[in-house]
């Protein structure tokens, strides 16, 4: 296949100061949860993107000095020469595939409590740190500012020596000291660095000028700026100070990387934003500078990318999350394989990984974060060895066409096995089909569509819907291996985190689960007109989104949760505040820090999780969003029959995904992929199945 000529413009080389990007695909700085703690893993993760055709591949935030760090989060560090070898691993890997390596230098300011270094944080003015802990940052004096400028310049020189081609001066996401100086919300100084916008811009201008003076003949100098904080006149905005700042500094850097702030706005989930959603805030930038501009917007469609370039909105297509979901996105467009792109679904599981201080993971790309430690490549997988003729003829029956079963089928077929996938439903896709019908989650169907699209292209696969399998049918089928991806179902007895035993009184009350509400045959009238309660002990998106769905349908909804806020785990995916705001706007009655005490004919009684004090809530029915039970009846029956010698021809029977342990869709995809990777291998359960990055106990 060859590239569609319409997309030729996406592959034009672009000059950025003294360096040239080979095309317009630009992986902007993003966290990966690896940084200085896992340098080999971080380097391989970025290297794979360069291999996949990204012209520019950047680090995450790279801390420039020990007096400003954000432990336990794992960023890159460029404190001194000891950090150079780790950074050179990254630049060497990117250069190996013809990419430019970029580094985002950062001084965190009041955003970093310095838990590791125990240095007192610094800020433009005295202020509390940006975390819930009893700590304040001190106001910087002029000597502190001179020190910061020196540290930034020293870090830039180290970055050049480590092989970076693009070096950032960073003022974005409300996470960096230059941004804090720019912002009148944070900067209450009365000297030459405070007051007027010109004064507030002074430090940022000095950092850019001094960085360019130090390394500008070898490296491009990029500026990352949040041009709008979505706070109106209370903050920097694209119609006011955001535009003025860009105009003041327009020709100073070699490249403008522009976005919105803070991180929860910049990385908004697909539930609350569409592809290209930042354009309305960043489109002005090219009108006030001649320098190339990169911006983001969760771009996955080549046509949308082309539109951004043709209409003069951007010069580079920036991406963080889409580059994680498909590191080979540019290469696929270049080869005329747009239909093979593994499109980001905007769920922010990648963001959550960083927020819970773990290496990156992705719903669409199960190899993300595993490139080095497991040796998993996003496009290549170990085929059946040519000398294993018998194994190449082996057949695998996969029961269940949800995310885990589909991924297992796709990867096993890629390896060369003969695959039959059977699903009991009329539409393949399992839980993603149902959940993608919920408000704002339509992009999640991409999990199904990518995998069915790949299976359709393979000659060694067969997919059957409306095919309910039992033990007798499995035996009759005569396969060599069975993989059960039969999913799970929500419990109807209330057992979960808060209630370790079934809740009393359920037998006398109309009880529903998410499975009921997601069924195509469900009629909301079954809930009654007297109000419905949702008890959310799951704490991810399901309880909140069902409340939204029912409230939009005109029902009176009460959401009860033992947590202090609704959908609390979505703090990690940066959407909790939007979820709670939406529910309050829909007049959902939110009852927090309560468990279910008992139910009777017309009301439920809830109890405070701290004091045990009870209160009654009028409602006619309740939806329990608590715990899920693995659907493993077929597995148990097959194991029983094999133990009795009835399935001698079946060499292995495996459980994957939610049937093994209910979790996120990302975990289900990963489980199916891992099963396929490990097929035919002897697994040593006594040792870790991945490489570890060990500390070096020598002279430091």
Q: Tell me the H-state helices in 529-575.
A: 542-552
- Catalytic residue status for 180: no
State the Cα–Cα distance between residues 164 and 698, nearest whole angstrom.
28
Token couple for 144: 């502190």
State the Cα–Cα distance between residues 172 and 176, nearest whole angstrom.
7
Report the relative pairing of strands 621-625 and 532-536 from DSSP bridges: parallel
Beta strands, E only, 146-202: 166-171
Using left for φ > 0, alpha for ψ between -120 and 50, and beta otherwise, residue 436 falls in: alpha
Closest CA to 285 of 262, 263, 312, 265: 312
DSSP letter for each residue of 41-64: HHHHHHHHHHHTT-SEEEEEEEE-
- Catalytic residue status for 170: yes
Token couple for 232: 């109106």
Token couple for 212: 């360019």
State the Cα–Cα distance between residues 313 and 226, nearest whole angstrom.
16
Cβ(392)–Cβ(384) below 8 Å: yes
State the Cα–Cα distance between residues 283 and 287, nearest whole angstrom.
8
State the Cα–Cα distance between residues 491 and 372, nearest whole angstrom.
38
The one catalytic residue in 165, 228, 266, 315 is 266
Work out the angle at residue 602's Cα, subtended by the Cα atoms of residues 613 and 501, and round it to the nearest 5 degrees.
55
- Catalytic residue status for 572: no
State the Cα–Cα distance between residues 132 and 618, nearest whole angstrom.
36
The one catalytic residue in 38, 170, 417, 540 is 170
Cβ(287)–Cβ(307) below 8 Å: no
Closest CA to 402 of 650, 660, 623: 660
Give me the residue label for tokens 């003969």.
Answer: 418
Omega before 262 within 30 of 0, i.e. cis:
yes
The one catalytic residue in 173, 186, 539, 673 is 173
The one catalytic residue in 31, 347, 350, 675 is 31
The distance of Cα 361 from the centroid of its chain, to the nearest Å, equals 7
Report the relative pairing of strands 652-655 and 621-625 from DSSP bridges: unpaired
- Catalytic residue status for 31: yes
State the Cα–Cα distance between residues 285 and 291, nearest whole angstrom.
10
Closest CA to 618 of 603, 606, 639: 603
**Sign (positive or negative) of CA dihedral 516, 522, 526, 531:** positive
Cβ(407)–Cβ(431) below 8 Å: no
Give Rg (Cα) of the chain: 27
DSSP annotation of 120? P
State the Cα–Cα distance between residues 345 and 673, nearest whole angstrom.
18
Write out the catalytic residue numbers. Answer: 31, 170, 173, 266
């Amino acid at each position: 296949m060859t590239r569609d000529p319409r997309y030729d413009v996406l592959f034009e080389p672009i000059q950025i100061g003294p360096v040239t990007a080979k095309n317009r695909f630009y992986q902007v700085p993003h966290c990966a949860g690896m940084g200085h703690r896992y340098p080999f893993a971080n380097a391989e993760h970025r290297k794979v993107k360069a291999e996949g055709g990204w012209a520019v591949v950047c680090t995450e935030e790279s801390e420039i000095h020990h007096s400003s760090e954000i432990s336990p989060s794992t960023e890159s560090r460029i404190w001194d020469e000891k950090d150079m070898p780790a950074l050179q691993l990254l630049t060497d890997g990117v250069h190996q595939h013809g990419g430019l390596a970029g580094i985002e230098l950062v001084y965190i300011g009041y955003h970093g409590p310095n838990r590791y270094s125990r240095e007192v944080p610094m800020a433009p003015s005295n202020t509390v740190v940006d975390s819930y802990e009893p700590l304040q940052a001190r106001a910087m004096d002029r000597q502190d500012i001179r020190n910061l400028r020196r540290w930034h310049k020293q870090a830039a020189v180290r970055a050049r020596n480590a092989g970076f081609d693009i070096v950032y001066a960073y003022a974005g996401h409300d996470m960096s000291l230059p941004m804090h100086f720019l912002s009148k919300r944070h900067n209450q100084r009365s000297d030459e660095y405070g007051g007027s916008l010109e004064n507030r811009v002074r430090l940022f201008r000095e950092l850019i000028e001094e960085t360019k003076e130090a390394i500008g003949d070898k490296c491009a100098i990029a500026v990352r700026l949040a041009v709008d904080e979505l706070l109106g006149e209370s903050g920097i905005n694209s119609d006011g100070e955001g535009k003025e700042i860009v105009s003041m500094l327009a020709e100073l850097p070699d490249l403008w990387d522009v976005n919105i702030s803070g991180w929860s706005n910049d990385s908004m989930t697909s539930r609350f934003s569409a592809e290209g959603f930042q354009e309305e805030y960043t489109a002005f930038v090219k009108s006030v500078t001649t320098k190339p501009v990169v911006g983001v917007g969760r771009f996955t469609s080549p046509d949308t990318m082309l539109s951004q370039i043709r209409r003069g909105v951007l010069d580079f297509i920036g991406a963080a999350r889409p580059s994680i979901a498909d590191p080979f996105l540019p290469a696929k467009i270049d080869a005329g394989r747009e239909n093979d792109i593994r499109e980001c679904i905007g769920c922010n599981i990648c963001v959550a990984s960083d927020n819970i201080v773990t290496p990156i993971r992705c719903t669409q790309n199960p190899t993300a974060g595993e490139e080095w430690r497991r040796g998993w490549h996003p496009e290549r997988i170990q085929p059946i060895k040519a000398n294993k003729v018998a194994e190449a003829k082996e057949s695998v029956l996969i029961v269940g066409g949800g995310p885990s079963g589909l991924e297992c089928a796709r990867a096993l077929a890629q390896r060369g096995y003969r695959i039959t996938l059977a699903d009991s439903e009329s539409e393949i896709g399992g839980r993603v089909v149902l959940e993608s019908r919920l408000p704002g989650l339509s992009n999640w169907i991409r999990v199904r569509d990518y995998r069915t699209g790949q299976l359709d292209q393979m000659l060694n696969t067969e997919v059957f819907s409306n095919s309910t399998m039992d033990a007798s049918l499995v035996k009759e089928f005569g396969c060599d291996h069975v993989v059960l991806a039969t999913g799970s179902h929500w419990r109807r007895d209330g057992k979960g985190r808060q209630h370790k035993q079934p809740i009393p009184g359920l037998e006398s009350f109309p009880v529903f689960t998410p499975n009921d509400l997601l069924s195509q045959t469900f009629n909301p009238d079954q809930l009654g007109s007297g109000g419905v309660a949702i008890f959310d002990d799951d704490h991810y998106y399901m309880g909140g989104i069902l409340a939204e769905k029912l409230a939009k349908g005109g029902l009176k909804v009460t959401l009860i949760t033992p947590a202090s806020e609704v959908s609390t785990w979505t703090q990690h995916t940066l959407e909790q505040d939007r979820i709670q705001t939406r529910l309050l706007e829909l007049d959902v009655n939110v009852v927090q820090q309560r468990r279910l005490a008992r139910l009777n004919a017309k009301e439920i009684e809830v109890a405070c999780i701290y004091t045990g004090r009870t209160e009654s809530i009028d409602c006619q029915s309740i939806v329990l969003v608590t715990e899920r039970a693995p659907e493993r009846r077929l597995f148990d029956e097959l194991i029983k029959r094999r133990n009795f010698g009835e399935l001698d021809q079946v060499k292995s029977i495996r459980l994957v995904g939610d049937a093994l342990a209910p979790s996120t869709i990302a975990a289900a995809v990963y489980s199916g992929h891992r099963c396929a990777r490990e097929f035919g291998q002897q697994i040593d359960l006594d040792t870790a199945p991945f490489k570890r990055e060990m500390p070096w106990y020598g002279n430091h």
